[in-house]
Amino acid sequence: MKRENKNDGRRERSEHAGRSGRPNRPQSGRPRRDASQLQGGRGERAPRDERKHDGGDYCWGRNPVLSLLEESPARCLKVLLSKTMQRGMYERITERCKASGIPFGMVEAKTLDAMTDGENHQGVVATIAASELLSLQDALALLPPAPEPVLAILFDHIQDPHNLGAMIRSAEAVGAVFAAVPLRRSSLPTGTVVKTSAGASLRFPIASVGNVANAVREMQEAGLWCVGLDADASGSIYDTGIPARALLVVGAEGKGLTKTTAAACDEVLRIPIQGGAGSLNASVALGVAMFEWFRETIKNKI
């Protein structure tokens, strides 16, 4: 959770809320950036044209993947295609990916061979979520009306599925309404995440997003005050507090928040620590911040 600190990481909170129930904030005027390119896949073992492994589920073969994209696109996390695939089939599959906002990429055939343990993949493999992901719009529809307190979570390219699972488990425990995860350059809610979340990822609403900074802006427009967590921020979560209607944004292990995500947040706060570690594990940091929100906001209601 580190980034270079260029200011105190805070924007002024107004005493008066806007029409959405969210504290007023200045207009940023920041330009939007394109989402990052999809990275390649990895391999495991198991049976036939659909297989479950420790990192998630795979579906392969032209017709099974086309059926997945047509009938259950919300379960498809990404699609990898062989560089030697026939152009007509490539276009059919990628057009459906584009229509549903599913990332796709080209890889060597041997990568797909490894993923399917040598099965006849026909040049295409899809990674499947253990459960369907919501669109951000559907997730925002779950928010209770202001002034009801509400907490949402946004993961800024978390890489470790064990961390992701632990954070989803804690988010459910604290009473958050939903979490959002980018489909590119991020751990995805597949098998390992289900295990480490103790099954919470199968119950807890999870939305998929493209550009994380743009997702922050959409949640601001929906009335949430967006707080980024950064070990180098000057402001502390204990000094300023976390508003009752909040989005907590946590960055990748080691790298922390991206600059564009940090700039999009209303404020960036740290969790003060002692000793020589320098920062907390991303999952621990988010857990501390979530339960500080809980202590401030919900403690008198239970």
Domain with 115 in it: what CATH number? 3.30.1330.30
Paired with 245 in beta bridges are 150
Contacts of 301 (CB under 8 A, 6+ apart): none
Quick one: 124 and 269 in the same domain?
A: no
| Helices first, then strands: H and E counts in the chain | 11, 13
Handedness of CA 268, 145, 151, 34 (dihedral sign): negative
Quick one: 282 and 223 in the same domain?
A: yes
Between the CA atoms of 265, 270, 276 and 281, what dihedral angle is there, to the nearest 10 degrees?
-60
In a domain, 25, yes or no: no
Looking at residue 18, its pLDDT comes to 46
Looking at residue 291, its pLDDT comes to 95
Largest interatomic CA distance in the chain:
62
**Token digits of residue 185:** 């350059």
Quick one: 213 and 277 in the same domain?
A: yes
Count up the domains in the chain and report the number.
Answer: 2
Q: Model confidence over 242-290: pLDDT tens digits? A: 999 999 999 877 778 989 999 999 999 999 888 877 778 889 999 999 9
Quick one: 292 and 264 in the same domain?
A: yes
Quick one: 113 and 158 in the same domain?
A: no
Question: Which among 101, 128, 155 is the end of a domain?
Answer: 128
Looking at residue 11, its pLDDT comes to 54
In a domain, 43, yes or no: no
Residue 181, H or E segment: strand 178-182
Quick one: 260 and 113 in the same domain?
A: no
Q: Model confidence over 266-275: pLDDT tens digits? A: 999 999 888 8
Question: Which among 82, 101, 128 is the end of a domain?
Answer: 128
Percentage of the chain lying above the pLDDT 90 cut:
38
Quick one: 297 and 165 in the same domain?
A: yes
Least confident of 34-38, 201-205, 237-241, 242-246: 34-38
Residue 88 above 80 pLDDT?
yes
Quick one: 172 and 251 in the same domain?
A: yes
Q: What is the pTM of this model?
A: 0.67
In a domain, 123, yes or no: yes
In a domain, 283, yes or no: yes
Range of the domain at 60: 50-128
